[in-house]
Amino acid sequence: MKLFQTILSLGLVVLGYCFAVADSVGSPAFVRVSPRNPAYFELSDGQPYIPIGLNMIAPPGKEGWPVMESWMSQLSNHGGNFIRVWLSNPYFEVEHAKSGAYDPEKARRIDQMLDAARKNGIRVKMCLEHFRHLGEGRQPWAAKPMHKLENGGPAKDIADFFNGAGSREQFQRKLDWFGARYRHESQVFGWELWNEINAVSGGDYMAWTAFMLPKLHRLFPSNLCLQSLGSFDTDRVRSNYLRLAVMPGNDVAQVHRYLDLGASLDVCKGPVDLLAADAVRELLRANPQKPVILAESGAVEPRHTGPFKLYAQDTNGMILHDVLFAPFFVGAAGPGHIWHWDAYVAKNNLWWHFRRFAQVVEGLDAPAERFAPEMLPHERLRVYALKGARTTMLWCRDSHNTWQTELADGKPPETIAAATINLPWKPAAGSKVRFYDPWENRWHNVVLSQPGLLKLPPFRRSLVVLLP
């Protein structure tokens, strides 16, 4: 009996240790669309969740895992809790030797990445595929010739890959393989079928998406399931974006948009906050009744021929700042997620920007607020407002400061002094107001002296205001 009690005591100690470790490295709760308000996310335990992070597709090169792990640590240390990876990147790709054959050794790299995410409190959007052709296209990184019939695959061409019954069955087997391994993984934010599927060179990819989403939900009932399209830089993609935004089974209305001087839409060439806000509003107008996220953004050379050359001048991170703040303040479920994690964010050491956004939303229960976004008139500022049930938030952006003035022309941002805003809600005199300067990381509390008249402290580029 004494031996049994000793063994039992040791077992309880070990069990307690295991629970303590589980609590310290990650939550067992899953991310879901909030049943309280479908415009936002929460965890399955009811806690609100705002995905703060970026695209972090894979390590740099075959042996670059320590670098990616350090990026994840940097993000976590600065308030981030989200990344997106491509499971089809060569580093993670389990289907690399033969079409329909899946390598468990490669999957251990995915396990390692999820373990690091758990340790750092990061949820991961798992993008399953990204190829655009079967070898006949111009982009070698986007080719998957293994899927052609002559190479042992199921498809005679790319159209057959999406439309053919054999190819669809094989892709479902790949989903089954991932489902068996990761079905209960709460560190997964969601499963994304494809990266920018409208970039493929043939086949009815929208019908394929509508077919695959229910299969994805069956395999991952506790995870979000979603799809993505290419950059919203032309009117030609609008119909597909609006169709996908309301498609059953697509849990998140995602949009990709970049600063691109080669784009056909003029909004893509102007201030970054405007192009980001406009992309989110496009999907909100479609009334998707689901969260909207700016899932890829940043700046590129014309027609996506490389990272923006002026990134080298953006050592203060003004582009990243606008990508983070603008989407949320027009009604998105979170900040925007920038693309160039390596050539811009890591290279310029801009991780601190994620902490600045995280501070603004710390403790915020977004689903409970029932935010109504609007723009307040001002002669100098673009004043983005979120009127909530308990909290009203403003993001004031200097309209004279843009990527063109600061990065291309070398004109430093001006100090905005003695600016005032007439608030339409007329909060009473004596109301407490909190100002946050995200560039100086400084909070400033004041008491409203006149009903509805808000006097702003001096700031450069932007300022956040929290009102009761």
- Take residue 191 and report the two structure tokens written for it: 């499963």
pLDDT, tens digit (0-9, with 9 covering 90-100), for 415-453: 999 999 999 998 888 889 999 999 999 999 999 988 989
Say how far apart CA 46 and CA 34 lie, in whole Å. 8
pLDDT, tens digit (0-9, with 9 covering 90-100), for 44-62: 999 999 999 999 999 998 7
Other CB atoms within a 10 A radius of the CB of residue 322 amount to 27
pLDDT at 15 over 50: no
In the chain, CATH 3.20.20.80 covers 29-363
Name, in order, each residue with C-beta under 8 angstroms of 250's C-beta and a sequence gap of 6 or more. 209, 213, 225, 226, 227, 244, 290
Quote the pTM value: 0.93
In the chain, CATH 2.60.40.1180 covers 374-467
Dihedral angle computed from the Cα positions of residues 338, 341, 345 and 348, in that order, rounded to the nearest 10 degrees: -150
User: Can you give the pLDDT at residue 158?
Assistant: 96
Alpha-carbon Rg of the chain, whole angstroms? Answer: 24
Residue 245's Cβ-side half-sphere holds a number of Cα atoms within 13 Å equal to: 26
pLDDT at 9 over 60: no
- Could you give the C-alpha distances from 308 to 230, 312, 318, in angstroms and in order? 18, 8, 13
In 214-342, DSSP assigns E strands to 224-226, 253-256, 259-260, 292-296, 299-300
Q: Which amino acid appears at position 337 of this protein?
A: H
Place of tokens 């498609």: 247
CATH number of 29-363: 3.20.20.80
Categorize the per-residue pLDDT at 462 as very low, low, confident or very high, splitting at 50, 70 and 90: very high
Question: Residue 133 forms beta bridges with which residues?
Answer: 143
Sequence length of the chain is: 468
pLDDT, tens digit (0-9, with 9 covering 90-100), for 292-350: 999 999 999 999 999 999 999 999 999 999 999 999 999 999 999 999 999 999 999 99
Place of tokens 């014309």: 302
The domain made up of 374-467 is a member of CATH 3.40.50.720: no
Q: What element of type H or E holds 11?
A: helix 2-25
